[in-house]
Amino acid sequence: MVAAQNYAPGGIKLFDAATLEPLADIPAIGMDGKRSKVVGLADLPGRRLAASLFESGEIWIIDINDPRKPQVTQMRAGREPYDGFVTPDGRWYIAGLFGEDGLALVDLWQSPPEARRILSGYGRGTDPLPVYKMPHLRGWAMAQGMAWLPAVGRHEVLVADAAQGWKESARVALAGQPVFVMARPDGRQVWVNFAFPHNDTVQVIDTATRQVVQTMRPCRGVLHMEFTPKGEAVWLSCRDDNRVEVYDTATFARSPRCQRTTPAASSSPYAPSASACNRAGNGSPPCTTTPCSTTGSSETCRCTRAHTANWPPNWAFASTPC
């Protein structure tokens, strides 16, 4: 089954995964009788979905055992939930709140489920900053049993301890307002990118010490990040420079640059295994050397489908950027 959330008109649609036959159309009409944007759609155990309604301030749990007749449980979440995620064990659904300091938490093992507030008032005593980009929440923000969460309108990541009732355990000061807070697959690092005017910056937090251990400026307009399956590399989508940067997560060294002939837009970079295209310059795919407009040269290696299954044909590596 395929589930899609919509902003306008707000709602959720269910489709047969094999035929794409429409199965159900669930309008996002809240308890206030108004239609809302749907955010934070998540797949739950037991053939259920969770989603948040932005304007109505609700969380929905949707039973899709009969996909043509889904059953919706509505609960109040707080002001303007902007995104949500389910923890890897499938027990907790967390929605961030844009309209107030705090998050909404649902124990999915509880029957009937209820939403309660956590980390309420985390900005108390300080003036709110203008928010230039809505942050995001996803399950990759869990590491070392902690939730690493972007603080809306603040230059901080909040660390909540799941074992201690989701109480605040720490805060990590950052260079700007966090957008994506993503844990490396092994949980040892958390990588963070930022809203304007710091959207050229990425910072790395060591989850053992809870300290920022690396600050880098890879490109203009860093939007999305994606780790390779084992976490040895991270791919950064650079919207304003129309390219993808690849970094070694152990040394923080930049790997061969992956350039695009079309804009990176806002999509996540596709991160294959580290052996994709066998890296530039090792003699496997054909390589050519082209002069740069400045001092130096750029050895480019265009990938072919013979070397990389499902690799987009308009990508190229550059081993020495100009």
Lowest mean per-residue pLDDT among 7-11, 150-154, 218-222: 150-154
Give the model's pLDDT for residue 122: 86
Distances, alpha carbon 132 to alpha carbons 194, 199, 206, in Å = 10, 10, 26
CA dihedral defined by 31, 76, 44, 180, rounded to 10 degrees?
A: 110
* Higher pLDDT among residues 320 and 170, named by residue: 170
Across all residues in the chain, what is the average pLDDT? 82
Stronger pLDDT, 136 or 182, i.e. the higher one:
182
- At 146, which amino acid appears? M
Residues 6+ apart with CB under 8 A from 53: 10, 28, 30, 36, 37, 38, 39, 59, 60, 81
- Residue position matching structure tokens 């909404």: 104
Range in 59-63, 95-99, 105-109, 137-141 the model is least confident about: 137-141
Residue of higher predicted confidence among 304 and 149: 149
Nearest-angstrom CA–CA distance, 215 and 205: 9
Q: What is the pLDDT of residue 265?
A: 52
How far CA 200 is from CA of 178, 192, 194, 251, in Å, comes to 12, 11, 8, 20
Instruction: Write down the pLDDT at residue 259.
Output: 59
Residue 239 to residue 264: CA distance in whole angstroms = 5
312 has a pLDDT exceeding 70:
no
Average of pLDDT values for 37-64?
A: 97
Among 59-63, 98-102, 113-117, 274-278, which is the least confidently predicted range?
274-278
Whole-angstrom Cα distance, residue 179 to residue 161? 21
Query: Degrees (nearest 5) of the Cα angle 271, 256, 301?
Result: 95
Q: Of all residues in the chain, what percent carry a pLDDT higher than 90?
A: 66
pLDDT at 100 over 70: yes
* pLDDT score of 317: 38
CATH architecture type of domain 1-118: 7 Propeller (2.130)
Question: What distance in Å separates the CA atoms of residue 214 and residue 205, rounded to the nearest whole number?
Answer: 7
Given a cut of 70, whether residue 112 has pLDDT beyond it is yes
Measured between alpha carbons, how far is 165 from 38 in angstroms, rounded to an integer? Answer: 27
Q: With bands split at pLDDT 50, 70 and 90, how would you rate the model's confidence at 134?
A: confident
Residue 283 has pLDDT above 60, yes or no: no
Assess whether pLDDT exceeds 90 at residue 313. no
CA distance 252 to 206: 13
CATH 2.130.10.10 in the chain, residues? 1-118
Task: To the nearest 10°, report the CA torsion of 237, 242, 244, 247.
Answer: -90
What is the pTM assigned to this prediction?
A: 0.77
For position 258, what pLDDT does the model report? 62
**Residue extent(s) of CATH 2.40.10 domains in the chain:** 131-217
**Tokens representing 108?**
């999915």
Arithmetic mean of pLDDT, 279-298: 36
Given a cut of 60, whether residue 278 has pLDDT beyond it is no
Residue 174 has pLDDT above 50, yes or no: yes
Q: How many Cα atoms within 13 Å fall on the side-chain side of residue 143?
A: 24
pLDDT in tens, 7-28: 999 999 999 999 999 999 999 9
What CATH number labels 131-217? 2.40.10
More confidently predicted of 315 and 158: 158
User: CB of 193 within 8 A of CB of 223?
Assistant: yes
Asked if residues 203 and 175 have their Cβ atoms less than 8 Å apart, the reply is yes
Choose the weakest-confidence range: 21-30, 51-60, 219-228, 289-298.
289-298
